[in-house]
Amino acid sequence: MSKELTKRADNYSEWYNDLVVKSQLADHSAVRGCMVIKPYGYALWENMRDQLDKMFKETGHVNAYFPLFVPKSLFEAEETNAEGFAKECAVVTHYRLKADPNNKGKLIVDPEAKLDEELVVRPTSEAIIWNTYKGWIQSYRDLPLLINQWANVVRWEMRTRLFLRTAEFLWQEGHTAHATKEEAIEETVKMVNVYADFVEEYMAVPVIKGVKSASERFAGAEDTYCIEALMQDGKALQAGTSHFLGQNFAKAFDVKFSDKNNKLEYVWATSWGVSTRLIGALIMAHSDDQGLVMPPRIAPLQVVIIPIYKGDESKPVIDEKGHAMMSALKTMGIRVKYDDSDNARPGWKFAEYELKGVPIRVALGMRDLENNVVEVARRDTKEKQTISLNGIADYLKNLLNEIQQNIYDRALTFRNENITEADTFDEMVKLLDEKGGFISAHWDGTEETEEKIKEQTKATIRCIPLDNRQEEGVCIFSGKPSKERVLFARAY
């Protein structure tokens, strides 16, 4: 493995790719557009997943699992949704292979085994789920139905990037059914808030909560709420979405319920999801030219202890102290590793754990033990301090909290410094080219204007922020009147 990571300033996307692979989060696979998530990356995902799952359950949701395959007839039932995803669907047409008569040892698709109806590999599960809900919902007493599933989905993207856009990705998708429009909207907003809380508090990535413009809306939704994050290169990243689906799917799949007055009504729906893409957001929000910077709360490893031996006789003494410290930290619920592996020297380990973004590194050698201290190095600031062994566990626990907060504050400052108001189109173009980030500007609310701005600048409307300040102005492009600013950015 080469030791050098591409520098962010030299080539940001190469830095990102390099980092994902060298830090062992994931790797390209033999399958086009699909990645292998390696143990370190999967441990990170598990921590994220576990916390989100807890938050979903605290808000009343339960988990279930629906099929990977969606019969084409079900898939096409909700037309807007189907059309929106049609261009990126993997489709199963056969169910059997057979030996190739003309090519020994090879297989061909058995033409006899053609499916009567093609199966779409789910790009999202609304269709199969709403078809199922039809059988589950009869009365208002069956509502609300609050279900989440952890799954993989496939979207056949033209161009893929590790974590940010892979042909197959892991995610969760919540699908809820409600008796009233108000309740469904409330659910949609509740879940975008859950996402924002998770991403900010656990991943330490500040987000802007907002609503998508009509053209950026989820196919089949009445309204799409989202959280938008800003990456270090000034590009925005959609980190999660929550959709108010109205009665579109209820009508498409004929899901009705009897209300208290025995009147048949269509059900109101929401769906919401976040994916392994969040890992991309995490990487690009915090990491530096030395490697990953993991927020302690979801870091697979929070503390690594590295013993530094001098001569064989020092090993048992150091190991004893090291193991004691590890036990104390484990008792406090801290994820810790004592790396006494023999195949690398301390300097190599230092660099390696920096690359992997472990928040705290503790070095333990005879020199320290003689003074009853250890050397504590934090990944976020790269500061090293000599700390007394007395009360070290409490010290490290507090330090983890401090690092979590510091990473968030740093990202928040950067984000806030990169939301810039523009009052003319020229100003906006200049800002996009020279500074990047979010451009806060007036927009006339039409799709035509949005499209023209996109064509000329590659920037899209990321969102109309919730609790947006109302302000009279004129559209930056058309000069027509506008009541509020929206956020534009170039995005991933």
Partner RNA sequence: CGGGAUGUAGCGUAGCCCGGUUAUCGCGCCUGGUUUGGGACCAGGAGGUCGCAAGUUCGAAUCUUGCCAUCCCGACCA
The residues of the shown chain that bind RNA, judged by CB under 7 A, are 1-3, 5, 13-14, 17, 28, 32-33, 84, 87-88, 155, 157-162, 164-167, 169, 216, 218-219, 238, 241, 275-277, 290, 308-312, 342-352, 354-355, 363-368, 374-375, 377, 382, 384, 458, 491-492
**Contact (Cβ atoms closer than 8 angstroms) between residue 311 and residue 213:** no
- Please identify, using beta-carbon distances, which residue of 29 and 139 lies nearer to RNA: 29
CB of residue 262 vs RNA: minimum separation in angstroms? 39
Measured from the CB of residue 364, what is the shortest distance to RNA in angstroms? 7
Which alpha helices (H) appear in 263-313, and where do they start and end?
Answer: 277-286
**Angle separating helix axes 12-22 and 277-286, nearest 10 degrees:** 110
Single out the residue of 151, 146, 155, 234 nearest to residue 194, CA to CA.
146
308/464 with CB nearer RNA: 308
CB of 370 to RNA, least distance (A): 8
- Based on CB atoms, which residue is closest to RNA, 430 or 458? 458
User: Between residues 179 and 227, which has the closer beta carbon with respect to RNA?
Assistant: 227
**Closer Cβ to RNA, 13 or 63, answer by number:** 13
Residue partners of 348: CB distance under 8 A and separation at least 6: none
| Residue 20 CA to its chain's centroid (Å) | 15
DSSP β-ladder status, 264-266 and 256-258: antiparallel
Q: How far apart are the C-alpha atoms of 404 and 294, rounded to whole Å?
A: 9
CB of 259 to RNA, least distance (A): 34
Long-range contacts of 321-326 (CB under 8 A, 24+ apart): 321/364, 321/369, 321/389, 322/364, 325/362, 325/364, 325/374, 325/389, 325/392, 325/393
Give strand ranges (E) for 193-281.
208-211, 223-230, 236-246, 256-258, 264-266, 268-275
Residue 312 vs residues 309, 316, 322, 337, 339: alpha-carbon distances, Å: 7, 8, 16, 22, 17
- Smaller CB distance to RNA: residue 137 or 303? 303
Q: Compare residues 176 and 275 and give the one whose CB is closer to RNA.
A: 275
Q: Three-state DSSP class for 38?
A: coil
Name the residue among 290, 202, 276, 184 with its Cα closest to residue 239. 276
Nearest approach, Cβ of residue 69 and RNA (Å): 18
- Minimum gap (Å) between residue 486 Cβ and RNA: 17
Nearer to RNA, 17 or 449 (CB): 17
Q: Tell the smallest beta-carbon distance from residue 289 to RNA (Å).
A: 11
Least distance from C-beta 87 to RNA, angstroms? 6
SS3 label, residue 208: strand
**Taking the complex as a whole, how short is the minimal distance between the CB of residue 241 and RNA, in angstroms?**
6
For residue 30, give the 3-state DSSP assignment.
coil
Q: Which of 96, 151, 156 is nearest to 120 (CA)?
A: 156
Single-letter residue type at 467: D
- Cβ contacts of residue 78 below 8 Å, gap of 6+? 126, 127, 130, 220, 248, 249, 252, 253
Backbone region of residue 405 per phi and psi (left: phi > 0; alpha: psi in -120 to 50; beta: other values):
alpha
Q: Helix (H, G, I), strand (E, B), or coil: what is residue 264?
A: strand
Please report, as a single letter, which amino acid is at residue 90: A
Q: How far apart are CB 293 and RNA at their closest, in Å?
A: 13
Least distance in Å: CB of 35 to RNA? 9
> Which residue, 140 or 249, is less far from RNA as judged by CB?
249
CB closer to RNA, 20 vs 431:
20
Task: Give whichever of 187 and 368 is closer to RNA, judged by the CB atom.
Answer: 368
State which H helix or E strand residue 80 sits in: helix 79-86
